[in-house]
Chains A and B, each alone.
Chain A
Amino acid sequence: MTDLLSDNEKELLLGNEAITRGLFEAGVKFASTYPGTPSSEVGNLLEELSDKAGMYFEFSSNEKTAMEVSAAAASSGVRSFVFMKHVGLNVAADPLMTLAYSGVRAGMLVMSADDPSAHSSQNEQDNRYYSTLALIPMVEPSNPQEAKDFVAEAYDISEKLGLPLLYRTTTRVNHARSVVRLGKIRNDTPLKGHFDKDDASFVNIPAYAVKNRVRLLEKNRLAQEMSETSVLNRIEGEGDIGIITSGVAYCYVKEFVSGVSILKLGFTNPLPEKKIADFIKGKKMIIVAEELEPFLEDQVLRICAQNRFDVPVHGKRDGTLPREWEYSPDTMQRLKDLVKVPEAAVPMAAPDLALPGRPPSLCAGCPHRGMFAATKRAVGNRPVVYCSDIGCYTLGVQAPFRTADFIICMGGGAGAAGGFAQATDQKPIAFIGDSTFFHAGVQPLTSALFNHHSIVMVILDNRTTAMTGHQPNPGTGRHFGGIDTEAVDIEKMVKGLGVDFVRAVDPYDVMSCVEVMKDAYEYDGVAVVISKCPCPLLLKKDKKLAKKVCVVDQDKCVQCYNCLRMIACPALIKKDGKVTVDPSQCIGCHMCGNVCPTKCIEVRE
């Protein structure tokens, strides 16, 4: 692994590694997050490095809390960094909106890692609009080098304005890797500050809020002036065709479009309106290249209208460039009638051959398999809506499980379950992971109790935040950065809320889980089943996975395929009618053996 605290001249860094290094070079002393791809690696790196770097870092229980702890740090004069995936900012939007009114006393960056093409997400929302909604400055890097360098620049902007700043990245910035020239690590910023009380700023009762809005608008005018002269907004090349671009789209324009003048924007809220107007003046054509929504384009069109420029503006509004999905070099071909782009290669033709699919799937021995199998067996043909949530168990949408009928957001399945309970005669069963439960599952559970919704909540407690790369959560306790805490006990917590039906089960004992799930289905009121089993992938990583493997006794096997149909474990192989186990994949969890009617599968050490 690359040493992010080194004083090497250059390193080959992932965007998220570069951002982490950028924090050290900017003297950031406080960071918080809730993990979410494509931002997750920053958290894993800080878990390991924050102590050595002399900064405080935490995984908060959700993005809202992460925003609030970092807001308090920055309000006390400590440079802070809160980061999350794009949909996480929806959760944290409430504090952000008013934090802009309060202002901050040390620099504060809010990193939103957007995910065009929804590689690991449920939508491809464009969070640049949060900057205009909250009236806060925004900076957008285009590549790993900028992702590091712009951090320090962004802190200066945030501090000059006394405002949190939206640091907006996308997957192809966070997960691009390139040669990055390193700078000096900064050690002169305080780790502890002091909160100087000031009700007029930090207590936004209506009388103060209306005044703070005026102050915020004034800060935006100042921000606009800073944007006009910022080094983050620059012009490259010459020509009477102008391309206005930001983010990773710049990289495609820069490499694949020639003979044009490029206005490359890095400080994208407020936009440098005069600079844009001067750039457009005298051009015969303007192209706006940006991923997702026409955020820049609409403002460019407005600037043209206000300046009475009569110049064609090509982009998303006229259909020249797409609004959906991430851009690539191929996207630049859409400009070939307007500008010079390289001739497209002739790709090999798609094969006339059926290829087996290879979708991501639950791992061999994943305990979610057992819980899904048991639930399906317990429910049978009775009416049900499987409300699922955000995590590995989202993959329950696949056959043979099909245990995900409704997924919208973190904690959304548990919330929707209450609605299905009242609005339909289908029994809602909500699956939710341990980390997601702490993030947004406690509130809907409380609400279901309050309103007597007849729901089943299955908490899939695998002792980690698995999908994003195994971060700790309140249910695991914290054990890094010199801080050790006790794990929060989910079972006690649920009982404490007043849930009467609470059962803890071992998902590897599938057939026992079937009986518990039958009772839960029948229960009138809120039933909670806690599936307790650590993620085997994490055990493997930590070298704590016992070496066991399942073996099928072919003499006893009656080829009923219960194991395949119920568990569908990737370690099970069916060939010529015979079921065998792939020892390279099997972890010896014995779920297959548990559902076997002839008990023909044994575990061997």
Chain B
Amino acid sequence: MKYSVQIVGVGGQGVLLASMVLGNAAMRAGYEAMMSEVHGMAQRGGSVLSTLRFGDEVYSPLEATGAADLILGFEPVETVRSMKLGNRDTAVLMNLDPVLPGNVAAGFEEYPEISSLIDVIGKENDRLYTIEATKIATEAGKAVAANAVMIGAVAAVKGFPLDKDLLKEVLLEKVPPKFKDLNATAFDMGYAAMAAKQ
């Protein structure tokens, strides 16, 4: 068994936390895990990519272009920017709530219509699942729990090899104690939203 996840988003969205949760869960499930993270200059509000590969035998910290089993997209434009990491059969889980780049906020560039972003992936991919993670997190109590929503949703992706309860357990160990309830609720709502789509 071998499984690879490409997690994409924007610095500050919790991409690193999500990859830590998935990686630790993989380790606890008895798999070998290799990951690659973005640190340093790229973190200053730029695009962020984190790679996780786990299984019985893995050596490479990076995945081949097009070979991801799952793309976990925390942000719509970033998901589309990283499309080439997956293929037609890659499960793509895309958060539909955008984070506006500086040039868009300042009015120098346009953010594409969300529907056009869904369309470009849908044309190339048979397993696109969209989720309004930030909106769901706000319903759960706080927008910052969007990454817990995303992790919960991952647990419901068909073929994802790690157990839902294990993921939740690891997530709750990684968040500050006072945000445990919030994250637990967000996780469950993410799971439910995703399960309903499959």
Residues of A within 8 A of B (CB): 10, 12, 14, 37-38, 40-41, 119-120, 143, 172, 175-179, 248, 250-252, 254-256, 328-330, 342, 344-363, 392, 395, 467-468, 564, 568, 570, 572-575, 582
Contact = CB atoms under 8 A, between A and B. Distances in A.
Interface stretch (B78-86, B150-158, B178-186, B188-196): B78-86
Interface residues of B, number: 63
Contacts of A177: 19-20, 23, 33-37, 61
Contact of B83 (A143, A251, A350): A350
B175 interface: no
Contact of A353 (B43, B57, B120): B120
B124 A348 contact: yes
A540 to B, nearest CB: 11
26 contacts: A12-B24, A119-B38, A120-B39, A143-B61, A172-B61, A176-B35, A177-B19, A177-B34, A255-B60, A256-B64, A329-B62, A345-B87, A347-B85, A348-B83, A348-B84, A349-B124, A353-B120, A354-B112, A356-B111, A357-B101, A358-B78, A360-B45, A361-B44, A568-B102, A570-B102, A574-B105
Given A248-B61, A361-B45, A348 B125 contact: yes
A41 B43 CA distance: 14
A33 to B, nearest CB: 15
Interface string B85-106: 1111010000000001111111
Interface string B1-42: 000000000110000000110011001000011111111111
A330 B64 contact: yes
Given A329-B63, A358-B47, A351 B40 contact: no
A358 B12 CA distance: 13
Given A176-B34, A356-B103, A358-B45, A255 B87 contact: no
A601 to B, nearest CB: 15
B101 A356 contact: yes
Nearest to B92: A348
B120 A352 contact: yes
Interface string B51-76: 00000011111111111000000000
A143 B34 contact: yes
Nearest to A1: B174
Nearest to B10: A358
A572 B106 contact: yes
B121 interface: yes
Nearest to B86: A348
Contact of A38 (B39, B60, B101, B124): B39
A79 B63 CA distance: 38
Nearest to A341: B64
A120 B41 contact: yes
A345 B64 contact: yes
A250 B59 CA distance: 9
B162 to A, nearest CB: 14
A342 B85 CA distance: 16
B46 interface: yes
B107 interface: yes
